[in-house]
Amino acid sequence: EPMPSAVQLASVQTLYRRLDRMDLGKYGLVIIDEAAHHGSKTYVEIVNRVNGAHVIGFTATPRRLGGGSPLGDCFDALVLGPPIRELQALGFLCGTEYMSGKLPDLRGIATTGGDYSEKGLHEKAVPQLVGGVVDHYLSYGGLKGIIFSCGQRHSFYLRDEFERHGKRATVIDSRTP
């Protein structure tokens, strides 16, 4: 029997908003990224509308922050991928070295879902974090690296500080083509 040619690629939020206009029953396979969120209202409603399709979920974090329903409530089996060290040994991932300067005092910054508030981090910690990151980076002689920020404002602030010290830097975020 020939395979159907219909393919729909969408974020969960977009798909959820369009559920009333879509016939998800025509799909034989639904692939869910960030499957640890499967217990949320949006995921449950989408899966309930697929009418017998095979559902495969992918996640790097099989436990939801703050609990939530176990993956077994939605999926029949758990398949573990190879560990990072094995993927590095096989040449699929590069080796990494993690470095960190002195962390600022984060007491008093609000948290949401286990993460610090971006606004709170930016107001209280960004100046300390940026100065520490640039100085720490320079102490390693300017090796190539990736720096993760606490948000878009923080990433642009970091870029500007690196450039002020004569180091080329760029920001990659959700708006990068």
Give the H/E segment covering residue 116: strand 115-116
More confident residue, 152 or 101: 152
pLDDT digit string, tens, across residues 50-68: 777 788 888 877 665 556 6
> What is this structure's pTM?
0.51
Q: How far is CA 35 from CA 7, 69, 78, in A?
A: 19, 11, 11
Give the H/E segment covering residue 13: helix 12-17
pLDDT at 64 (0 to 100) = 58
pLDDT digit string, tens, across residues 78-125: 888 888 899 999 999 988 877 666 677 778 888 876 777 877 777 776
- Maximum C-alpha span of the chain: 62
Instruction: Using the structure block, give the residue that is written with the tokens 């979920």.
Output: 57
pLDDT at 129 (0 to 100) = 61
pLDDT digit string, tens, across residues 1-26: 555 566 777 778 888 888 888 777 77
pLDDT at 69 (0 to 100) = 64
pLDDT at 160 (0 to 100) = 92
Would you place residue 170 in the very low, low, confident or very high pLDDT band (cuts 50, 70, 90)? Answer: very high
Residue 68: count of CB within 10 angstroms of its CB: 14
Distance CA 10, CA 33 (A): 11
Residue 166: count of CB within 10 angstroms of its CB: 8
Is the confidence at residue 152, as pLDDT, over 80? yes
pLDDT digit string, tens, across residues 22-43: 777 777 888 888 887 777 788 8
- Can you state the angle between helices 126-139 and 152-164, rounded to 10 degrees? 40
